[in-house]
Structure 1
């Protein structure tokens, strides 16, 4: 009888271990995990942080998008050719997502003619942008790796549409 209770207890512990292992966060940073429930206000940047033009562009774009009432968090990363703009919409404003995205695109086209913007309200894209920005803070993370990762995120966004 005791053997049966021990095997049941072992089975329960094994199921708990498997269940919690499936919930692990993997390679996500604390900022990217927190971004799902709160505003983290990631700083804007460029894959080449030494390119002052791209850094200033990213900062101006972030400021412009944050000025919209429906938006509460924005991540902007400027690459060599493309600029990724990932944003989060306030919960009660999510009904007008199409209108908000159209408004953002219109604002970007008007204020920054000739620039190529990739705009996304998807949480996964936002988290990926935050994680890339965190990696870019490491001096050992090369410009080439950052640009490659940015292009991967952009292709992920294009696959989703």
Structure 2
């Protein structure tokens, strides 16, 4: 009887470990959890909160979504650096490099005073959505957000 009880406790402990490990992904915030599966179109994030930056971010978001092959975009603006992460329509995925090149070229031409990092990579998109979610919290430190922004830019450069 003691052996049966011991095996039962071990089985319960192992099941508990698997349950905890399975719930680990649930700590992502709001939109970030489902960003790969549905259109999120998060509000553009602004690291240096000035009225001009908010206006620029809104205008940029509308401009990026005006491209016919793009259906979702996450934008984070810094002082002069801007991250534009986007998702392309499923049937347009074979032209992703061309879409990225065209978008980057048009953004550089239209907004000459900003430096753009453009990516259709899902990892970059998820990181941008998570940072955007964090920035909605008033207590989230802006210095930490800027550091995270730099990490995302660095990650994109490492991927190319």
Q: TM-score, normalised by structure 1?
A: 0.85
Return structure 1 stretches of 4+ with deviation > 6 angstroms: none
Q: How do 1:4-153 and structure 2 match up within 5 A?
A: 7=7, 16-23=15-22, 24-25=24-25, 27-49=27-49, 51-153=50-152
SS in 1 for 2:59: helix
SS in 2 for 1:22: helix
SS in 1 for 2:87: strand
Tell me the distance in 2 between the aligned counterparts of 1:125 and 1:20.
28
Q: 1:10, CA displacement in angstroms?
A: 6.0
For residues 56 and 13 of structure 1, do their structure 2 counterparts lie closer, same or farther at Cα, with a shift above 3 Å needed? Answer: same
Check the 8 A contact 1:70/1:90 in 2, yes or no.
yes
Tell me the distance in 1 between the aligned counterparts of 2:148 and 2:137.
14
Tell me the distance in 2 between the aligned counterparts of 1:95 and 1:73.
17
Query: Superposition RMSD on alpha carbons, in Å?
Result: 2.2
Give 5+ residue unaligned stretches, structure 1.
Answer: none
Q: What's the counterpart of residue 157 of structure 1?
A: 156
Tell me the distance in 1 between the aligned counterparts of 2:122 and 2:10.
36
